Amino acid sequence: MKYVSVRDLRNRASEVWRDLAKEKDLVLTSNGRPIAILSSIGEDNVDEALAALRRARAVLAVKKLQAQSVAQGTDKLTEDEIEEEIAAVRRSLRQC
C-alpha cells in the first residue's frame, strides 16, 4: 500500500492520480497519520463501490461494539437481563 501526504496531493496532483490508477488504492496522510483512502473506481461501478465501502464501515462498527461489549463484560448478559435493561431505559425515557 502506497502512502501519499496531503502536501504531495496538493503539489503533485497529476502524479498522485497516475499512481492511483496504477496502485488502485492509496492512503492519504496528514502529519504522518492516515486520514483517508483514495480508491480507484470506474464510472460504471460508483454505486457498487460506495455500497461496498458502507458495508465495510458497518462491519467495522459492529466489531468495535462487540469488542466493547467483551471489555465491559456485557457479552455475558442473559436474555432476561437484556430485556430488563431495555425496560429500564424505556421507563427513564417516558419520565423525560
**Domains of the chain with CATH codes:** 1-40 (3.40.1620.10), 45-96 (no CATH)
CA distance 55 to 26: 20
Q: Does the structure show a pLDDT above 90 at 96? A: no
Q: What is the pTM of this model?
A: 0.67
Give the model confidence (pLDDT) of 40-94 as tens digits: 998 999 999 999 999 999 999 999 999 999 999 999 999 999 999 999 999 999 9
Residue 33 has pLDDT above 90, yes or no: yes
Q: Would you place residue 25 in the very low, low, confident or very high pLDDT band (cuts 50, 70, 90)?
A: very high
- Contact 25/3 with Cβ under 8 angstroms? no
Say how far apart CA 2 and CA 84 lie, in whole Å.
50
